[in-house]
Chains A and B, each alone.
Chain A
Amino acid sequence: MVMQRLSGWGRTAWTVADLVHTTDVDVVRSTISTAGERGVISRGLGRSYGAAAQNAGGIVLEMTAENDPMGIDADFDPLTGLLTVASSVSIDAILRMCVPQGWFIPVTPGTRFVTVGGAIASDVHGKNHHLDGSFGQHVRSVTLMLSSGEVVELSPEQNSVWFWATIGGMGLTGVILRATIAMLKIESSRVEVETVRLDNFDAVCAAMSADGSDDDYRYSVCWVDLLATGASMGRGVLTRGDHAAANKVDNKDPLAYDPRLTVSAPGWVPNGLLNKWSIKAFNEAWYRKAPSKSHIGLESIPAFFHPLDGVNRWNRLYGKQGFIQYQFIVPLDRTDVLRKVIEKFSAAGVASFLAVLKRMGPQNKAPMSFPTEGWTLTLDMAAGISGLAELLSEVDTLVLDAGGRHYLAKDSHVSAAAVRRGYARIDEWMSTQEEMDPIGLWRSDLSRRLGLVDHRRLL
């Protein structure tokens, strides 16, 4: 038994669990059969920010295949673009394999260091949600181990209720073993990107609305400066684009793909490095760096999709205190709430290094999937700010009163009541979850805090 201290990517709320690293189905089965009443949860690359992949006092199945000497456990058909892959494989590995063959992952979050299992369990979304939906819409089938040890095949056609309960199910329906994903055809490894600087929050919202030109671009996201005040409040840099055609790239090999980690954040960063002043300076520079007139250029996949991955372990930049990421969504007509939230954080002097706004498309069929038609705002902040619990609770109320909700893969603080209010289909999901896991084996720190599964069920 290896007792290990674990946290999410935000490096807060550490707890100790029995960590079992495996990608072997038989080991998974024998491990879950030995579990006690604290249960089991699976963990991938630990990129969810809060406690989704932690299980205090229980077992955490770490299913990653980063350094697998056998190579990627995947079966890819470059004719159809169907990729059948082990859940432990990362999007990074998939891109390395598929981009040179002319295929891209249909949905990528802001980091490529997530496993397929994690991407499905969190039903991750990317800059193309307004047109392409979230990860789950591109999954053709999932192979899942239930708490009984039985392995089942789920797809939108076969066992569809169980399939959609697993998409966005936070790993609480079973251990995802394999999945088949419909990949996206690309001609080059470059993205044609239009960059526009927007003077204030109204301009940001107008530019991204559906009646604007947002739907003409596959990818669209806006970085927002939360520290700008007065007339510049909520100013931003909007970037949108699509995969570039081969003839736009003057390169011998238009599909060449070579992502690199450039620098690594050291382990000794003090708590206060990212503060109101340093972030203000960064924001000013970032805003000024963007051209004032609309500009079109070519960017690489890592630069456009995964800029933070360039700094290895960037989560250390907040120091030992860690940080939290706050992501919520509100309906399209509630930009007033976005504004109020921004003002509230700004008035409290909370500086956010990353603040990103995106307009999301319609919701998929998964009851616990986060994205729904509306605006999603993502910001991060140091966990040690005093009075943060009270401030966040006020913001939560604003979001929930507007009919919004919080993204569980990012969450590290909301209450059980907040999830019940935000996710209208939670009872339906919980009864499916109980049907799939009658003994109540799957548990995580997140599920305990949010009451996602009934913890009175005994093993």
Chain B
Amino acid sequence: MNLDLLQEIINLKNSKKEFSVITDISNAKSYIFSLNEKIQEELKENEKKIIELYKSRKDGLIKGTDLFVKNYHRPIKVVIVGAVHISQFFVEYAKSLNLDIYIIDPRGYFASEKRFPSANIINLWPDEAFKHCTLDKNTALIALTHDPKIDDPAIQEALNKKCFYIGALGSKKTHENRCNRLIENGFEKEEIKKIFGPIGIKFGGRSAPEIALSIIFQLMTEIYKQ
């Protein structure tokens, strides 16, 4: 692989693009492929099979050829509401995972860059913040302030946008009250059931790093179910 191509791959990754690198193992020539770009002459013959592998998100040799396809996936967007202690550990642990993390908190003293040097911080109330950081069905929403003023509007937006993972911090009692408020606001019981509350898998730990770990584990489990 030549160094210009290496640089191009790194740039594409950093700009969160989705693409494949196709290497001809008979001569070590590599090509970049993405759905929106015109395919190179050398690959045209196998275009259909390349697209198939690209869409299946699996790496591998194309049968009957010397072409190896390696896919680069866009990171999964995770929006955390609450620049709290747990969020700091979450960001730290998630560093080697392919997650694109945004932290929303209207409280400036929480949402400071000093506390989160490597995350995207949005220092706004959720309603405003979602104008800059939109949610969709491929987004995970994690509510950690356990202040209904901040968490509730975020959870409502996540339910409306059908986020694949919605988790909310708080005891069983807190969560019950939260569910009742959501019902009062017109949400269906079936939808509300999809919220993971209390958030995280139960393994006994209650400290901030342990809760962060339990949330990551639950989130990753849901990612692989998709």
Q: Are A and B part of the same complex? A: no
Residue numbers of B with Cβ under 8 A of A are none
List the interface of chain A (C-beta within 8 A of B).
none
